Amino acid sequence: MVSSSLTTGYAGPVGDQLISIYERLLSAFGPQDWWPGDSPFEVCAGAILTQNTSWENVRRAISNLKNKDLLRPRAIYELSRESLAQIIRPAGYYNVKAERLQNFVAFLVDEFEGSIDTMFSKGLETLRPMLLDIKGIGPETADSILLYAGELPSFVVDVYTVRALMRHDFIDENADYEGVRSFFMDHLPADVELYNEYHALWVILGKNFCKKTKPRCEKCPLSGM
């Protein structure tokens, strides 16, 4: 069950329903303990590298950086684009991701002297637009950085979340990222623990039950809702 501290502050019947869904998913799947990483900067790097690939591939790319003692903002900042691309090759789209990772690191170094703590001290409302201005950092990546690395309450939306919400008639096919994000944030308390676990649970639901093709509706934890 969701803790009592998370059931205060949400708005009306939609909030009630979202909390009920959360409790069902948590009961079915258990805590997911997202996001893996030994430091906030590692989580930021992982959020960028995980675009369009599996976490296992990201883990290999991160390990390559660690083994060369390069998983540091200044080290990546000073590394050539070509060298970085080869090191993160397991993550796929390595040339594109090398550029995106260095764009983020350049922002971190130029704006905050490489301090991840100083960056996150700007707060959610100030930092989110700044992240979205970085070339190659879209809303899902920005919100993953904010939530999982910065522990700031920004709900992360992905294809699994959208698919499940559409099938349960919470949103229509025209809903955009910001609209779906606001749907959660307008009806749930601004709680990092809740947002973290809820996003992870949507992903597990999408991968195992609410699949793009051949969904397993009859065994879905949300069946009957």
pLDDT per residue as tens digits for the range 39-68: 999 999 999 999 999 999 999 999 999 999
- Tens digit of each residue's pLDDT (9 = 90 or more) over 111-165: 999 999 999 999 999 999 999 999 999 999 999 999 999 999 999 999 999 999 9
Domains parsed from the chain with CATH numbers: 4-30+155-219 (1.10.1670.10), 40-149 (1.10.340.30)
- Tens digit of each residue's pLDDT (9 = 90 or more) over 78-101: 999 999 999 999 999 999 999 999
> How far is residue 135's CA from residue 209's CA, in Å, rounded to a whole number?
34
**For the chain, what is the radius of gyration of the CA atoms?**
18
DSSP assigned state of 221: T
Lowest mean pLDDT among 6-10, 19-23, 148-152, 184-188: 6-10
- Above 80 in pLDDT, residue 3? no
> How far is residue 35's CA from residue 193's CA, in Å, rounded to a whole number?
12
DSSP assigned state of 90: G
In which residue are the tokens 């992240």 written?
131
Residue 10's pLDDT band, with cuts at 50, 70 and 90, is low
Q: How far is CA 22 from CA 5, 28, 33, 209, 221, in A?
A: 14, 10, 15, 15, 10
